[in-house]
């Protein structure tokens, strides 16, 4: 089925200098640092190709250890991320490494008899039937299948598709032997995104056998109860079900059957709309869904697993593309800043499995080769395609959805069009044509507005509508100027502003006013975090502090700290300090916190 919005094709967008480009480069550096031999170590082990050059001191450990039951999951993520980089930037170095790895997986498949290409043995799936304890084998296999399909669809690697097709024959025989009740028992064990894999393969080939596999991975014990309105999520492992819902989303796109849409819609309603979320956008504690609107008791050292952030953002993107509802784009934006950025170390590039939210928290970072948690995998994927969520097509029109500095190339009526989006704050330029403002000569972050410039250059004049998402966090009147002339359009938060005209060489100036605001917990409204626009602020203090001021005016608690400070690699964000509290607590963006103790939620009292 056709969605309302479509992403611009991969390769048509390039990141410009910004924190997003810096974090992406850091991620790429990590991916290249990992030896191909070690990435493949568990495929070699299963295929009987474990050679004498594999020494214990030189292996990948943690969840990639040869003794771990989900060994090999990371390589699938790595292949998906490498495919993203190539599709976005034509990164031949990563593609060459990925192509060689695909060839070695094909070699392992031949050694296994021509079908099985997993990093774990087939018997792990037999153990599910026998009732033996085994840790999520289908989750692991999905990652490899996902990575191979990404290598085919995004880089054109035909061998990767052939491996998947050969491997799918094993699955076809395997699933056919079970009655529905037996099969439902098997699906009650974590299946990862197997449903999405078969939907993707059906989309590629349009062959009945893959549609049959997709339908076989329907989850009536979960999906039917979701549609019926039951709360089947509270205290349940979150990332067991999110990938299954992503599969349902993809199934709707390739079949158009309303059942799949109903599943996705019901899940979002239960997981997000009715449950609520923390200031960061996360909803989990110790990998499980919190009870609806009851978040305060779950503030802990184990909130917001990175995998759930990544996968819920994917789900939000599906719904944004289907509906054009800005609610989903805003959820995506909040999690981007306070999940994806906040859970990547800005110096080492390593992941923070959980994002602690209790008072006096400290982030725990992974290591390059000793952990390989599931979140290592979603980390490398998350930072491999930031630019792909900036621009979308709405039939014949163009939509600016996310504000990330990027250059894009688009065509309208066969006319080449170049679009350059830059954040004027991060570029350090003077502010011009902003109502009631003074020029700013210094290069620091402005806490009261975001300022963006968009340059449009068309080879010849061309008529179309440019749609701009207006963030929900704006405070006051937003400003849009085209070539120095203010647009008379009324601009409301959480809306789409449509600009229709004949374009040639034009400059659009966007000013989004913002202010300090509270983000309170639904079950303890007196407990609040501070936000500046979409960014959560972390107070650098070791324990909970009562802050006093006017509860209707957040600015009576904190004031901007305009200290000229260039963070490593040029990253900058809003900085505040507490006033009138007896202690000058510093507040910085959560995504800038490295090893400092921090607190997010503070009891707020009136003076």
Q: What is the pLDDT of residue 426?
A: 43
**Full-model pTM:** 0.95
- Phi, psi torsion values for 597, nearest 5 degrees: -75, 140
Do 547 and 603 meet the contact criterion of CB atoms below 8 Å apart?
A: yes
* Residue 52 in this model has a pLDDT that exceeds 60: no
Do 264 and 318 meet the contact criterion of CB atoms below 8 Å apart?
A: yes
- Locate the DSSP E strands across 288-403: 288-289, 391-394, 397-400
Average pLDDT along the chain: 92
Lowest mean pLDDT among 242-256, 309-323, 434-448: 434-448
Q: What is the pLDDT of residue 583?
A: 85
Q: What's the rounded Cα separation, in Å, for the pair 567 and 467? A: 33
Three-state SS string over 484-522 comes to CEECCCCCCCCEEEEEEEEEEEEEEEEEEECCEEEEEEC
Tens-place pLDDT, residues 205-237? 999 999 999 999 999 999 999 999 999 999 999
Task: Enumerate the H helices of 345-492 as residue ranges.
Answer: 374-382, 424-427
Q: What's the rounded Cα separation, in Å, for the pair 49 and 146? A: 23
Q: Topology of 393-513 in CATH?
A: Maltose phosphorylase, domain 3 (2.60.420)
Residue percentage of the chain with pLDDT more than 90: 87
Tens-place pLDDT, residues 334-356? 999 999 999 999 999 999 999 99
Do 18 and 405 meet the contact criterion of CB atoms below 8 Å apart?
A: yes
Q: What's the rounded Cα separation, in Å, for the pair 184 and 128? A: 11
Q: Which residue has the higher pLDDT, 563 or 389?
A: 389
What is the β-pairing status of strands 13-15 and 602-606?
Answer: unpaired
DSSP designation for 351: B
Distance from CA of residue 123 to its chain's centroid?
33
Tens-place pLDDT, residues 418-465? 999 998 754 333 333 333 343 343 344 568 899 999 999 999 999 999
The confidence band for 531, taking pLDDT boundaries of 50, 70 and 90, is very high
The confidence band for 56, taking pLDDT boundaries of 50, 70 and 90, is low
Q: Give CATH 2.60.420 domain extents, the chain.
A: 393-513
Q: Which of 474, 333, 456 is nearest to 398 (CA)?
A: 456
Tens-place pLDDT, residues 539-578? 999 998 999 999 999 999 999 986 544 443 345 578 999 9
- For tokens 């004949």, the residue is 502
Q: What is the pLDDT of residue 407?
A: 97
Q: Which of 580, 498, 490, 574 is nearest to 538 (CA)?
A: 574
In terms of Cβ atoms closer than 10 Å to its own Cβ (0-12, 13-18, 19+), residue 182 is exposed
Distance from CA of residue 184 to its chain's centroid?
30
What is the β-pairing status of strands 288-289 and 406-412?
Answer: unpaired
- Phi, psi torsion values for 587, nearest 5 degrees: -120, 125
For residue 77, CA distances in Å to 142, 381, 384 come to 10, 6, 11
The pair of three-digit structure tokens given for residue 264, joined into one six-digit string: 């996705």
């Amino acid at each position: 089925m056709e969605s309302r919005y479509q992403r611009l094709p991969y390769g048509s967008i390039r990141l410009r200098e910004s924190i997003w480009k810096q974090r992406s480069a850091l991620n790429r550096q990590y991916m290249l640092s990992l030896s191909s031999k070690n990435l493949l170590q568990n495929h070699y082990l299963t295929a009987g190709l474990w050679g004498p050059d594999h020494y214990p001191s030189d292996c990948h450990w943690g969840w990639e250890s040869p003794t771990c039951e989900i060994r090999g999951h990371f390589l699938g993520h790595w292949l998906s991320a490498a495919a993203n980089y190539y599709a976005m930037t034509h990164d031949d170095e990563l593609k060459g490494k990925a192509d060689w790895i695909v060839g070695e997986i094909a070699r392992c498949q031949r050694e296994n008899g021509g079908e099985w290409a997993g990093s774990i043995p087939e018997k792990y799936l037999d153990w599910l039937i026998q009732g033996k304890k085994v840790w999520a084998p289908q989750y692991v296999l999905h990652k490899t299948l996902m990575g191979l399909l990404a290598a085919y669809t995004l880089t054109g690697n035909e061998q990767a598709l052939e491996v998947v097709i050969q491997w799918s024959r094993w699955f076809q025989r395997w699933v056919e032997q079970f009655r529905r009740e037996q099969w439902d028992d098997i699906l009650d064990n974590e299946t990862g995104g197997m449903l999405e894999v078969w939907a993707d393969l059906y989309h590629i080939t349009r062959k009945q056998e893959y549609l049959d596999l997709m339908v076989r991975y329907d989850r009536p014990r979960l999906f039917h109860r979701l549609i019926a309105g039951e709360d089947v999520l509270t205290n349940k492992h979150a990332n067991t079900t999110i990938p299954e819902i992503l599969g349902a989303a993809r199934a709707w796109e390739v079949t158009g059957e309303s059942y799949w849409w109903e599943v996705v819609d019901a899940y979002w309603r239960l997981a997000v709309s009715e449950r609520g979320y923390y200031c960061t956008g996360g909803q989990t504690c110790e990998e499980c869904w919190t009870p609806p609107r009851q978040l305060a008791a779950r503030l802990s050292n184990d909130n917001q697993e990175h995998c759930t952030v990544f996968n819920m953002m994917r789900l939000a993107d599906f719904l944004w593309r289907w509906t054009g509802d800005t609610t989903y784009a805003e959820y995506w934006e909040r999690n981007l800043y306070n999940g994806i950025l906040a859970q990547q170390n800005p110096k080492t590039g390593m992941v923070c499995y959980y994002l602690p939210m209790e008072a006096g928290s400290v982030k725990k970072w992974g290591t390059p080769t000793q952990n390989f948690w599931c979140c290592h995998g979603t980390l490398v994927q998350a930072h491999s395609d930031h630019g792909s969520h900036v621009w979308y097509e709405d039939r014949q029109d163009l939509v600016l959805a996310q504000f990330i500095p990027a250059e894009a190339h688009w065509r309208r009526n066969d006319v080449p069009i170049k679009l350059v989006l830059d954040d004027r704050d991060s570029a350090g330029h003077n502010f011009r044509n902003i109502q009631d403002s003074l020029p700013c000569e210094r290069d620091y972050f402005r806490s009261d507005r975001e300022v963006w410039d968009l340059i449009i250059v068309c080879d010849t004049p061309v008529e179309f509508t440019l749609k701009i998402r207006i963030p929900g966090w704006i405070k006051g009147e937003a400003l849009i100027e085209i070539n120095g002339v203010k647009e008379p359009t009324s601009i409301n938060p959480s809306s789409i502003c449509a600009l229709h005209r004949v374009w040639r060489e034009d400059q659009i100036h966007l000013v989004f006013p913002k202010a300090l605001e509270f983000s309170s917990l639904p079950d303890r409204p007196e407990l609040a975090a501070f936000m500046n626009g979409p960014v959560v602020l972390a107070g650098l203090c070791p324990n909970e502090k009562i802050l006093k001021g006017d509860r209707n005016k957040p600015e009576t608690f904190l004031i901007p700290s305009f200290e000229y400070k260039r963070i490593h690699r040029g990253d900058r964000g809003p900085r505040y300090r507490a006033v009138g509290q007896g202690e000058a607590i510093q507040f910085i963006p959560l995504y800038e916190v490295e090893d400092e103790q921090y607190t997010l939620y503070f009891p707020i009292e009136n003076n």
